[in-house]
Amino acid sequence: MVKQFVEQLAGVTGRLSRLALWIAGISLVVMTLLVLWQVFTRYVLHEPSHLTEPFAVVLMSWFIFLGAAVGTHEGFHMSFDVLTHALPARLRWVPEVISDLVVGLFGLGMVWWGVQLVLAGMDSTMPLVGLPDGVTYIPVVAGGALFALFSLERLCRRSVGLPASAHVADPHNPVPEVTEA
């Protein structure tokens, strides 16, 4: 019953990870187009656009924090690889669990301090854009929440004997088996 719940959780987090990856990818493309527009208006039209920079910075925050969270889901976050491979097979889970705990706690810290930054920035406004400065810190909160959630999922998967790798957990996106020729 617990294993089934963890598998359902993995399906939900898999879809959430894909959504975060799409948002990060779209943010990267739009930011690139904004910077291209900035260069065009500055050097070709000699009339630089003043709105592109603040939006590009916000978009860059979105793709950095969401992309890093997806890396946590996929198991590409910081880990103790050297130590893990040096340990006997029966103990290799220890540094992996410690790594997931540290990443999850880091994510919770990002949420806590990110909310503080969002709230503190709501009283001031970004020049020329008119949005509160706090908006620029929302990606920190979103990314931190995903860090924590994805780390929790990895810990839950390990606790019921499933592999921690997220891409194995998603039945809608299975990893093809590699066969030797």
Return the pLDDT at 180.
53
List, for residues 137-177, the tens digit of each pLDDT value: 999 999 999 999 999 999 999 889 888 875 544 444 444 44
List, for residues 89-124, the tens digit of each pLDDT value: 888 888 888 889 999 999 999 999 999 999 999 999
Q: How far apart are CA 164 and CA 167, in angstroms?
A: 9
Q: What angle in degrees, to the nearest 10, is found between the helix axes of 2-43 and 52-74?
A: 150
List, for residues 60-77, the tens digit of each pLDDT value: 999 999 999 999 898 886
What is the signed CA dihedral for 128, 129, 134, 137, rounded to 10 degrees? -110
Mean pLDDT on 4-8 = 90
Helix, strand, coil tally for the chain in percent (to 5): 75, 0, 25
Q: How far apart are CA 21 and CA 18, in angstroms?
A: 5
Return the pLDDT at 79.
65
Return the pLDDT at 167.
56
Contact 118, 134 (CB under 8 A): yes
Between residues 10 and 179, the one the model is more confident about: 10
Between residues 71 and 81, the one the model is more confident about: 71
**Cα 110 to the center of its chain, rounded Å:** 12
Mean pLDDT on 26-31 = 96
